Structure 1
Amino acid sequence: MAEEQAETFLYKLEAELADRLLTIVVVAQSDERAFSAAENNILRHTVAPPQIKQLSLVEKKPLGRQGVGYVIETAQF
């Protein structure tokens, strides 16, 4: 009997740090794993481990179809 595979999702999260706001996009099978992956990506992205004031889930989409993605608005220049 084959095991059921958990559905995979594309997550967009925002991390509020002391001096900036980061947008993180990860692929995960649960909200818990998405938050963990986001924290790990933040640690790899920064030189010194930052203090994360808040980590928020902004959007969650199933990965089962073509063209799934996000538009991430950045600061105007």
Structure 2
Amino acid sequence: MNFIGIQAAGTLLSHIIFILLTFWALQAVRVEKVIRKQHVNQAKVLYLFVSIAIGYLVSSFFMEFILSSQNLIFLFER
């Protein structure tokens, strides 16, 4: 049961780190030309949602990749 708690904490930490990393990376994108002048708050919410979506997908990919690579040893066991 302890392993499940550690895995859940690791997954949550991974999601948060990748969401923050994605938010930081999106700051380099210049979208001022696309955003209308009176819609700044909506643009901030869009940045947040895009950061969450991309960060979650990247984190899920890495977590699944790690889990799959750990399970590869069962392929070679008898």
Larger Rg: 2
Return the structure number with greater relative CO, CA threshold 8 A, min gap 6.
2
The structure where helix makes up a greater share of residues is: 2
Q: In which range does the TM-score fall when normalised by the shorter chain? A: 0.3 to 0.5
TM-score, with normalisation over the residues of structure 1?
A: 0.32
TM-score, with normalisation over the residues of structure 2?
A: 0.32
The structure where strand makes up a greater share of residues is: 1
